[in-house]
Amino acid sequence: MQYSEVPWKDVLIDTKEFTVFKDKYPVTEGHVLFVPKIEDWEHLTACFTAAYKWGYDWVERGYCDAFNIGQNVGKEAGQSVMYPHVHLIPRRVGDMDDPKGGVRGVIPEMQKYTDEDAKRRDGSFNTKEIIEAQERILKRR
């Protein structure tokens, strides 16, 4: 999919690096999407940077109490539009009974956690091997 094919139509702001759209199915009032005009790290980084700036500004102005920023990458992560985009979701006191765990709620039974849960969930994920591979990737840049 190319930028010209994205399904969102309700433009809030258009910059040279990205466009901000209203989310068609907002999680909360004010849920917006930052969509890079070019699918590369520079433009995606600009989206995340702008989303953070907007979120902090909204909190300072009292528009919301907190915010989530996120991206679904791949079908199994819930991505439904296969073009990169960053969600900014304003959060307000009382918008859910117990927000503890935040984005962990993507898998509802994992949202609540304790130290004991962490020990049980660690499993066989080879953290050392993953970190070594990532360090090699970062050195190539």
Domains of the chain, CATH where assigned: 3-99 (3.30.428.10)
pLDDT attached to residue 113 = 60
Considering the entire predicted model, what is its pTM? 0.80
Tell me if residue 98 falls in helix, strand or coil. Answer: coil
The secondary structure of residue 104, as a DSSP letter, is G
- The sign of the CA dihedral 69, 73, 78, 81 is positive
Distances (CA, A) of 68 to 18, 50, 58, 92: 19, 13, 12, 11
Q: Which of 92, 81, 76 is nearest to 28 (CA)?
A: 92
CA distance 39 to 14: 16
pLDDT tens for 29-75 read 999 999 999 999 999 999 999 999 999 999 999 999 999 999 999 99
- What proportion of the chain, given as a percentage, has pLDDT over 70? 82
